[in-house]
Chain A
Amino acid sequence: MSTLAVHDHGVAHHDDHGHEHHHNQSFLSKYVFSMDHKMIAKQFLITGITMAVIAMILSILFRIQLAYPDKTFPLLTTLLGRFAPNGRISADFYLSLVTIHGTIMVFFVLTAGLSGTFANLLIPLQVGARDMASPFMNMLSYWFFFMASVVMLSSFLVQKGPASGGWTIYPPLSALPKAMPGSGEGMTLWLISMVMFVASSLMGGINYVSTVLNMRTKGMDLWKMPLTIWALFLTAILGILAFPVLVAGVVLLIFDRSFGTSFYLSDIVLNGVQQPYEGGSPILFQHLFWFLGHPEVYIVIMPAMGISSEVMSVNSRKPIFGYHAMVYSLIGITVLSFIVWGHHMFVTGMNPFLGGVFMITTLIIAVPSAVKTFNWLATLWRGNIRFTPAMLFAIGMVSFFISGGLTGIFLGNAALDINLHDTYFVVAHFHLVMGSAAIFGMLAGVYHWFPKMFGKMMDEKLGYLHFWLTFIGAYLVFFPMHFMGLDGVPRRYYAFTEFVSMQRWLTVNTFITWAAIMAACAQVAFLYNFITSIFIGKKATQNPWEANTLEWTTPVEHLHGNWPGEIPTVYRWPYDYSKPGAEEDYIPQTVPFSQTMSSNQAHDFEDNPKGLEELNKFNSTLKANEQVK
């Protein structure tokens, strides 16, 4: 038997027993420097979850300060040392905590942890490819992300603590190493970490786009792609267009910090000493930052939207309502996200007419967002809903997206924003609409594709416990913040004890903190469920949710190359659930129309006149038989 095979990467081992995928992989090349997209997805997920847990602990620490600004907790000094002298978190460290919490959640969890996991796992599996366009670059992408995580966390080990100018790192705080303790080495490490992070994101994003456009299997045209793929694809495009702009902004910032230029610095007096910087414009940084920063929030939410669409369709046993509208609204959001960044800068002295323009573009985003929301609700309408944990989290995502999105209409208004900017109203808004919503989308994805990733099922009861505690906890934490914000309580403040007008909010802060602690405890249920299920979970079947998409046609045991034989061909869209006349309530994408004559409809053959002819013939024969009877 001759072997006509050219291997790309030096592994020349294949035998003749049909086990053609049994490479002799070392531990290092299988688990650590893996080039297999499924393993890289797991690496992203586990690193992302670890970072999420760390960021959550940081948030509990600063919540304790907000709830008990006058009490001392000797335990804090034991745990944090110089950052919490005399049992109280220091003011500088408080700012570091909110800064690093924001940075980790936005970038490391909801960008890399979310897109990194599900784009890597789902793109090759759902479009029908053996692996990514460049598996090597994919591996690099993970390891850059890992290094970025290590560097970001290592900033807790430097003398003066991590960066503390807020996750938006506005100059001059970020540009002058002496401006505040966190502006020193902590800020330097933050910048190094983010440069590596951007490199990781770009390498990942380039691969995702290239794979979706070039490596789809036979029959998988763009309009047969699941919405997860559409969402991840457009997310990757956003990243590719937006992250280089952040790099440009950061390059100028680094020159200001270390080489004495004054792009962002002007007229600064530090500790009574006039600084030599002249002529710079701090607003320039805000433009460059938010040109990335706003698309970034859609980078965070769009994968969650795609995942929820898929999960809700599968578990409602109904086609997604308005598939084309879903895709066009994603495209609409993608395009609009680049022309709304000014709404983060309404109070920077912007020309009011320009503010008006940004206000209009911002409010237009409500249109595609509402289209998506109505479509999700219409998908649920009269479905045979199966309340799996994944389904609950997907519905929770929609709930948060609605309740958080509504306040966006107020914040997007240039006049109202004068009152609301930098208050807890903003904190409440984005934690619901992009924080909680995206996390819930991510958790929906974890519960739904856990069987695909690990070949095991997660425990459902723990999943329900996790969902309800987190769902209620998140609302209890963020809903009261709206009222604080309306009353003018500013964000990022260390304590409100000195302001008479804000003292009445102290009890609310205590309440929020306890709600946050409860929600944090609920995550233990998830972590326990996640870790134990990997080892002792019930073994998964090949298609546990009876879904249509391609990833469920691969064997439970992972193969390098995904499918043992040929890659399956795709014949239909991914949402043929509960089709009238079909034998079962789902028809996988790989089933040709010729095998489902009884359920075919005229609209299945819009661009296929021959198929339509066959359908008409079949139907007329059927009618003739009826008449004979």
Chain B
Amino acid sequence: MMAQIQKNNDRLDLAPKKFNMWIFIFTSFMFFAALTSGFIVYSGGRGHGLNVIMPDAFKYSTAVIIISSITLFLASRAAKQLQFAKQRLFLWLTFALGVAFFAIQVYAWYVLTYKMNVYLTDPNASRSFVYIFTGMHLLHIIAAILLLLNTLAGTYKNIPQVRNLFKMEMTSIFWHFLGIIWIYLYVFLLLNQN
């Protein structure tokens, strides 16, 4: 009997799964580090600077993603305090901000292409990199939004609090990381825009 209890405790151990998320964050970080290093090698080696002033839309999207991190933090706090209605509200808010971020980034592409004549298929590939950075980041954002919806669905299904908190934590790690990555990419672009 004791063996059985111990065995099932082994199975329920969620800490290694959370650790998995941290390692995944690492792989994702390496991916963006590789892209930005590629940019440096390219623009340094070929002598092509970016020479594009980043559109204002990026400022707004940066603000939106920071606010979404705050709302997600409030949702986590509400979940810990067993205020599930509040948790749901903040999760929905985060979701809306995530979608808004996505929309603003796409709008930024529109501005870049149609207003500023900076194209994806530019002979100066430094400029193509702007689209790759944002596009790859948006792919991650889609994944994060799906993860968020999964957590949100959990709150309607009355799952055990342990799992609810676990899901909240997994979502938070990923979401905050994506915010940080975006700030990294944006600052990187700002530093290299001349």
Contacts and interface: CB of A to CB of B under 8 A. Distances in A.
A252 B20 contact: no
A251 B136 contact: yes
A207 B23 CA distance: 9
Interface in B17-63: 17, 19-20, 23-24, 26-28, 30-31, 33-35, 38, 41-42, 45-46, 48
B132 interface: yes
A566 B4 CA distance: 9
Contacts of B12: 6, 8
A564 B3 CA distance: 8
Given A214-B15, A281-B42, A244 B121 contact: no
Interface stretch (B73-81, B83-91, B123-131): B123-131
B11 A210 contact: no
Contacts of B16: 133-134, 210-211, 214-215
B194 interface: no
Interface string A271-285: 000000111110110
A243 B27 contact: yes
Nearest to A245: B34
A4 interface: yes
Contacts of A3: 1, 4
Contacts of A287: 38, 41
A370 to B, nearest CB: 30
A76 interface: no
Interface string A246-274: 01110110010001111100000000000
A283 B45 CA distance: 9
A101 interface: no
Interface string A225-248: 000000000000000111111011
B27 A561 contact: no
B191 interface: no
A566 B31 contact: no
A279 B12 CA distance: 54
A209 B38 contact: no
A210 B24 CA distance: 11
Interface residues of B, number: 42
B115 interface: no
A245 B29 CA distance: 10
Given A210-B16, A210-B19, A278 B31 contact: no
Given A207-B20, A210-B19, A5 B5 contact: yes
Contacts of A248: 31, 34-35, 38
Given A20-B3, A244-B34, A255-B128, A260 B121 contact: yes
Given A261-B120, A262-B123, A137 B46 contact: no
Contacts of B3: 20, 564-566
18 contacts: A3-B1, A14-B4, A206-B20, A210-B16, A213-B19, A214-B15, A214-B19, A215-B13, A240-B30, A243-B27, A249-B34, A251-B136, A255-B120, A259-B121, A261-B121, A278-B123, A279-B46, A288-B34
Interface of B: 1-8, 10-13, 15-17, 19-20, 23-24, 26-28, 30-31, 33-35, 38, 41-42, 45-46, 48, 120-125, 128, 132, 136
